[in-house]
């Protein structure tokens, strides 16, 4: 059972949305009239999913969602009357996982929420893979730079320079990349 934060300017529509969410087996964590102070409210309410019903998402709403997506990402479902390509693109860039045009429909609620959660989880996994790949590339570059320093200063071949770095890493019980970074930092100070 997911805890869902509902954001809707219309109290009348919010009542229908809450009924649909409960019928779909979810729990309504809170209902807000706008996305203002979204970060503070998310910290307080701790919802699993955010559902927004709006005629058209305002620039402020999209900015708040963008900040939330960077700081404390959560799946966001947006039901809107606005089918403009630029608006949809802006919403997706702000972190909306499912943007549904033509408004809220109780019959579509459960599958739309399920799709949004699946897309969100896939996107988060891709972000983590990208971060790991970037970190590995950065570590590889620093190790190569450290090897180059050892090869130049100690007249070692590449294999011997790498073996020296590995030995130092084992002696210090530190990751190879950290030892390489320390060596590069020291070389920058001394050379």
**Would you say how long the chain is, in residues?**
191
| Domain stop point among 86, 104, 122 | 104
Instruction: Give pLDDT, residue 103.
Output: 65
Whether 117 is in a domain gets the answer: no
Phi, psi of 165 (to 5 degrees): -60, -45
List the one residue out of 65, 53, 45, 51 whose CA is nearest residue 8. 53
8 and 96 share a domain?
yes
185 and 144 share a domain?
yes
In DSSP notation, 36-72 reads TTHHHHHHHH--SEEEEEESS--HHHHHHHHHHHHHS
Whether 121 is in a domain gets the answer: no
Instruction: Give pLDDT, residue 158.
Output: 94
| Domain stop point among 60, 87, 104 | 104
Confirm if 139 and 177 have CB atoms less than 8 A apart. yes
The CATH number of the domain holding residue 157 is 1.10.10.10
Whether 127 is in a domain gets the answer: no
Overall number of domains in the chain: 2
- Per run of 10 residues, the mean pLDDT along the chain (length 191 residues) is 90 88 91 88 93 91 92 93 93 94 79 92 94 96 95 94 94 95 91 69
Residue 149 lies in domain: 132-190
Give per-residue pLDDT as tens, 73-83.
999 999 998 99
The residue to which tokens 């807000």 are assigned = 32
The CATH number of the domain holding residue 50 is 3.40.50.2300
pTM here is 0.76
- Beta pairing class for 49-54 and 98-101: unpaired
Give per-residue pLDDT as tens, 135-149.
999 999 999 999 999
């Amino acid at each position: 059972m997911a805890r869902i934060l509902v954001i809707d300017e219309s109290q009348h529509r919010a009542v229908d949305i809450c009924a649909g969410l409960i019928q779909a087996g979810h729990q309504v964590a809170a209902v807000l009239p706008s996305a203002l102070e979204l970060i503070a409210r998310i910290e307080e309410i701790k919802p699993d999913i955010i559902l927004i019903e709006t005629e058209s998402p305002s620039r402020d709403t999209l900015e708040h969602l963008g900040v939330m997506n960077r700081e404390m990402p959560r799946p966001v479902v947006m039901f809107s009357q606005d089918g403009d390509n630029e608006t949809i693109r802006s919403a997706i860039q702000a972190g909306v996982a499912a943007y549904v045009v033509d408004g809220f429909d109780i019959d579509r609620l459960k599958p739309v929420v399920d799709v949004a959660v699946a897309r969100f989880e896939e996107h988060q996994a891709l972000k983590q893979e990208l971060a790991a790949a970037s970190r590995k590339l950065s570590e590889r570059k620093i190790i190569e730079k450290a090897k180059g320093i050892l090869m130049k200063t100690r007249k070692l071949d590449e294999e011997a320079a790498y073996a020296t770095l590995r030995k130092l890493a084992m002696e210090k019980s530190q990751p190879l990349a950290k030892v390489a970074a320390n060596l590069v930092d020291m070389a920058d100070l001394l050379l």
